[in-house]
Amino acid sequence: MTTDIRSIRNVALLAHGGAGKTTLTEALLFNGKAIERRGTVERGTTVSSTEPEEIERRITITPHVTHLTWHTILINLVDCPGYIDFLEATRGVVNVVGGAVVLFSGESGVKPETERLWKMAQDALVPVIGFINEMDKPRADFIRTLGVIEQTLGLTTLPVTIPIRDGETFLGIVDLIPMTAWSARDGVFTQIDLPDSVREDAEHYRQQLVEKIVEADDALLEQYLETEQPPAEEVLHQGLKEAVLTRRLLPVFCGSALANIGVRALANGITFYLPNPLDKANIKPLEGVNPEADNAPVTRRPSAEQPFSGVIFKTAIDVYSGKLSVLRVFSGVIEADQDIYNATQQRKEKGGRLFKLLGKQMLPVERLAAGEIGAVARLAHARTGDTLCTVDHPIHYHRVGYLAPPLSYAVEVDAKSDDKVTTGLNKLTEEDPTLHFFRVGETGELILAGMGQTHLAVALARLKRKFGASASLKTPRVPYRETVTRGVRVQGRLKKQSGGRGQFGDCWIELEPLARGAGFEFEDHVVGGVIPRSFIPSVEKGIRDAMQHGVVAGYPVVDFRVRLVDGSHHSVDSSDHAFQVAGSLAFKKGMEEAGPVLLEPVMMMEITVPEDVVGDVIGDLNSRRGRITGVDAKMGNQLVKADVPMAEVLDYGNVLNALTSGRGLYTMRVGTYQEVPSHIARKVLGEQRPVG
């Protein structure tokens, strides 16, 4: 039976690692009777602990989908990663859910990961409510944490529940709208009399709550000022929901997920204040394009009566059970075994069985309707981020742009395991869009790129566990180049006679340097037919073959011009091959005489960092032979632009995390090639193997 779309809440749980997100998921599921007993992260027995690597490290690595029913409302929860190396996986989730709960630790407040997750939610126009967890920790402080949230995230908080005491004396919560107090005694959550010690604070915060709600509605405000009586609870709930949907305020709940205190009030807040799919479509309409009609704009409504459309936000691949594509259905209905059109890849696919998910438990269903979250099995080609729809009504929704993985290593593998490693890592990149695996043609190396050291370590562990393939990582080789610094005129001559037909080719070339980035130019200046026209392309081919391996260290040669100016031929012994060899010999001789030098790739970097560490970051870049090209303000941070040699920033992801406590982000791409300073070149030539 399909749930009424107005009774659905699709909610992402967002927090830095260790804030208690998975424990909160467990408490919500237990209170909603979706599970019979609560597991623990320490024992690896929670619903969201599905991967051995997660259990071992006690962190969430990939988004986990669960669901519960709370007072007739279906809540689909997505427990999202909070550890810095896996944050990007959350970006795909916030683009499909309706709302989010952001957890803050009552002890540690807002961490850099929280800031990044908050920005993801804001960029995706996701309404948010907050939950200050761990109020029973020794150094928990509710008031201080509220202040840190407001100062760090630049928003107005509005407590909806407040704690009865902080820290080790934490007793329970006061729910401010009904003004009721609750506590857990012997593991049972019960209503208690409002303690006198908290009454004054409760009345203060309730008055603040009422005033913040009514000030957005002129009629309510006038009524409140005239009567001095707060509106009815239903009116307050509706007013607070409007504040959440417009992202004007951040309602904040508090409690302890571990002690299961305050979790029921949070569940009520999810049902009261976070949007259903119809509400969310009013905030962010379902707009896409038709890939079959020149990307003409197309819209959908979140209704089961519309053509089916949905977006995959997670992929899981098992060697034995195959691929599982987790999706949010935006419109229409998908049936089990239905033919599906993948609008992203513009190809048809045969759908498989459908499931609702409760962690690793898969509950078969016959259909998934608009607003629901579920999974479809055995889609052969679908990947995370793909739009699925009906064949007759194609639509493609905007694809999420994940940050490029900043950390790259070369993959070392023995010849016997090469195929297994390649196949396995390709499968892992299907699951994880933030993991990249590719071969660099210039160096021949296989490269694995990820968001950090832990991300790559987990990838190798999963490679071994799931595909039985072992590999190790090493620093990748820098794709150096070579070039010339002065012009020369040289001859290349091949003359072989050993009885019968011989080989003869003779050419003179002028070799000269070009500007950086100019590449290779070949000019024919031969006159008088000293080299027949049919052999001139052979000379060029010989040079092009030889320029792949320079004389300094065997790297490709770039940015030079060759003029073919003279030569000679033999009417019988000359051939294409002979002139190819002659061209190659001339080039090699010319390289040796033309002042060959080593070039290195220089990266154009953009680094976003907080104001308080910008000096440290610039100092570090200067120490890496970097050249700062600009520093600009960007949304409360500083954007540092710099050109830095690639060899100096192969490990920059780790360096930036250390300098900024995980608050920095960066992108880089090859900008140009520059001559390597002589003292650096000597070191490079001493350490690196020649190419070829």
Q: What are phi and psi of 459, to 5 degrees?
A: -60, -45
Specify which residues 355 forms β-bridges with: 364, 375
With beta carbons less than 8 A apart as the criterion, state whether 159 and 254 touch: yes
Give dist(CA 301, CA 286) in Å, integer: 7
Lowest mean pLDDT among 82-96, 271-285, 486-500: 486-500
Domains along the chain with CATH numbers: 8-282 (3.40.50.300), 285-397 (2.40.30.10), 407-474 (3.30.70.870), 481-595 (3.30.230.10), 599-687 (3.30.70.240)
Mean pLDDT, to the nearest integer, of 206-218? 88
Lowest mean pLDDT among 61-70, 189-198, 234-243, 677-686: 677-686
Tally of CB atoms within 10 A around 669: 10
At residue 557, the pLDDT reads 95
Mean pLDDT, to the nearest integer, of 620-627? 95
| Residue 418 CA: distances (Å) to CA of 329, 548, 637 | 39, 26, 44
Give dist(CA 199, CA 19) in Å, integer: 29
Mean pLDDT, to the nearest integer, of 615-631? 95
Specify which residues 9 forms β-bridges with: 75
At residue 185, the pLDDT reads 67
* Token pair for 592: 């040796």
Q: Where does the pLDDT of residue 1 fall: very low under 50, low under 70, confident under 90, or very high at 90 and above?
A: low
pLDDT at 356 over 90: yes
Q: Where does the pLDDT of residue 690 fall: very low under 50, low under 70, confident under 90, or very high at 90 and above?
A: very low
Give dist(CA 141, CA 157) in Å, integer: 15
Helix (H, G, I), strand (E, B) or coil at 96: coil
Q: What percent of the chain has pLDDT over 70?
A: 97
**Verdict on whether the full-model pTM lies above 0.85:** no
pLDDT at 187 over 80: no
pLDDT at 635 over 80: no
pLDDT at 582 over 70: yes
Residue range 292-327, pLDDT digits in tens: 999 999 999 999 999 999 999 999 987 667 899 999
pLDDT at 228 over 90: no
Under DSSP, the state recorded for 609 is E
Lowest mean pLDDT among 404-408, 410-414, 578-582, 640-644: 404-408
Q: Where does the pLDDT of residue 359 fall: very low under 50, low under 70, confident under 90, or very high at 90 and above?
A: confident
Tally of CB atoms within 10 A around 411: 22
At residue 189, the pLDDT reads 79
pLDDT at 500 over 80: no
Is the Cα dihedral 645, 646, 650, 655 positive or negative?
positive
Mean pLDDT, to the nearest integer, of 625-633? 93
With residue 270 as reference, give the H or E element that holds it. Answer: helix 263-273
Give dist(CA 317, CA 325) in Å, integer: 9
Q: What percent of the chain has pLDDT over 90?
A: 68
Q: What mean pLDDT value characterizes the chain?
A: 91
465-502: b or e for each residue (b if 16 or more CB lie within 10 Å)? ebbebebebeebbbbbbbbbeebbebebbbeeeeeeeb
Q: Where does the pLDDT of residue 515 fall: very low under 50, low under 70, confident under 90, or very high at 90 and above?
A: very high
* Token pair for 228: 């001095």
Specify which residues 598 forms β-bridges with: 482
At residue 451, the pLDDT reads 87
Q: Where does the pLDDT of residue 284 fall: very low under 50, low under 70, confident under 90, or very high at 90 and above?
A: very high
Mean pLDDT, to the nearest integer, of 53-65? 90
Mean pLDDT, to the nearest integer, of 127-150? 94
HSE of 353 in the Cβ direction (CA atoms, 13 Å)? 10
Q: Where does the pLDDT of residue 186 fall: very low under 50, low under 70, confident under 90, or very high at 90 and above?
A: low
At residue 688, the pLDDT reads 57
Q: Where does the pLDDT of residue 2 fall: very low under 50, low under 70, confident under 90, or very high at 90 and above?
A: low
At residue 255, the pLDDT reads 95
Our CA angle for 621, 622, 627, nearest 5°, is: 90
Q: Where does the pLDDT of residue 671 fall: very low under 50, low under 70, confident under 90, or very high at 90 and above?
A: confident
Mean pLDDT, to the nearest integer, of 42-59? 88
